[in-house]
Structure 1
Amino acid sequence: MTQKILILGATSGIGKLAMHEAASRGISVRAFARSADDLTATDLIEPFKGDALEADDIARALDGVDAVIYALGITESVSMLWKEVTLFSKSTEVLLTQMAQIGPKRLVVVTGFGAGRSKDAMSFLERTGHRAILGKPYADKDRQEAMIMDSDLDWTIVRPVILTNNAKTTKYRVLDNAASWRNGLISRADVAHYLIDAVADDKAVRTDVVLAR
């Protein structure tokens, strides 16, 4: 039974929503972020300031948790068109090494539609436009996914399609068959809902899925 989750990237976006989703279900969260001081501690939320690229920070954060949700993101900017992105692969390398030594075994990671083998589900026009704009970060997500799939952990890779800020509906589709993968829209709140479901109920272990409305 999952009693405490470590969420990496818990101060913004999907990570923050996942933190609140877990707490709403009575699941404790260790909320890891460089800006964790901005969070308010509660009985179920433990702010944990740290750098995901620092092995010592990750090691301390893993102590006593039952599962990890990786929801780190980067700030979008024009420089992404030419500047190499390495955060996803380098932080994942640190995380996988520490989880192999310390535990836990359960890891749920948010990447995105178009990463890894899901890019083959895009049309030529979708793929061309996507890689022209997001080529650098998604090249790093490709590296990240390969590392995760090669690990011995009980991983799940979650690829949401185009994200919106709409309210949670829970009426989304979990596409676990590559033949059914497609683009579309989904709210960040629904992605967060699925992340906690995946951890709490051990869904899609050692599987990569696409989330769409």
Structure 2
Amino acid sequence: MTHHDDTQSTASDSPVLILGATSGIGALTVDEALDRGLRVRGFARGADAMDPREGLEPCVGDAQKPEDLLRALQGVSAVIYALGVKERPAMVWREETLFSRTTAALIDAMQATGVRRLVAVTGFGAGRSRDAMSALEKLGHNAVLGRVYDDKSRQESLIMESGLDWTIARPVILTKGARTGTARVLREPDEWRNGLISRSDVAAYLVDAVIDGLDIQRDVVLAR
């Protein structure tokens, strides 16, 4: 037991790197981690605009640049990947590659720096969870988000093949609601289903996954 406590204290002494730290789930994950006493390195192109807070180290960088990722990874205990793309009309027809490109660069940089723990947010409908969608859900999803989710599926494959201590978290439809603390982690494919979940509940799970070592080398769906 003592040994476990030692590792916990060491982990909390090293910052957690949060990619996409200034918006959406990433920004809420920064808040959640700081509220729980973790040190956070908040990585984003606009990180210099983050409000100064105890335990927060803003880290300006572009997740597509290997040199920025290598710098950001120095001395961290874990990485939370929470990059998103802004919804825009071109999503419907333009190929998306941001998720797979940044994830490939991140995996290389993690392997080079010896950081092993990666918790990545994708979404319900990516990778293996696509099979859990109804025909109607697939139709609507493909029409609007098909290209984005094709890339999230490529991203998931890269993560699963990386050999890292990864967790893939797929939230269902996101809301702006408050943290409820009652979100469910659906671990078995036959439980996977669509629904709603607040971004704050997703952030809480991501921090839980880092602190408690949850769901290593597992892909889960997060729903209310």
Q: SS at 1:84's partner residue?
A: coil
Which residue of 190, 194, 200 corresponds with 1:179? Answer: 190
Normalised to the residue count of structure 1, the TM-score between the two structures is: 0.99
Find the counterpart in structure 1 of residue 212 from structure 2: 201
Find the counterpart in structure 1 of residue 102 from structure 2: 91
Instruction: Work out whether 1:51 is the aligned partner of 2:62.
Output: yes
Separation (CA, whole Å) in 2 of partners of 1:206 and 1:200: 16
Which residue identity does 1:32 align to in structure 2?
A: F
Shift of 1:103: 2.4
Find the counterpart in structure 2 of residue 33 from structure 1: 44
Normalised to the residue count of structure 2, the TM-score between the two structures is: 0.94
Count of residues in Structure 1 that have an aligned counterpart in Structure 2: 213
Shift of 1:195: 0.2
Identity %: 58
Separation (CA, whole Å) in 1 of partners of 2:95 and 2:56: 34
Aligned-CA RMSD value = 0.6
Which residue of 63, 71, 75 corresponds with 1:64? Answer: 75
Which residue of 60, 64, 85 corresponds with 1:74? Answer: 85
Deviations 1:115-146 (A, max 9, x none): 00100000011011101110111010010000
Unmatched segments (≥5 aa) in structure 1 = none
Q: SS at 2:137's partner residue?
A: helix
Which residue identity does 1:58 align to in structure 2?
A: L
Instruction: Work out whether 1:15 is the aligned partner of 2:26.
Output: yes
Shift of 1:40: 1.9
Separation (CA, whole Å) in 1 of partners of 2:49 and 2:19: 15
Separation (CA, whole Å) in 1 of partners of 2:33 and 2:168: 19
Check conservation: 1:62, 1:103, Cα contact below 8 A.
no
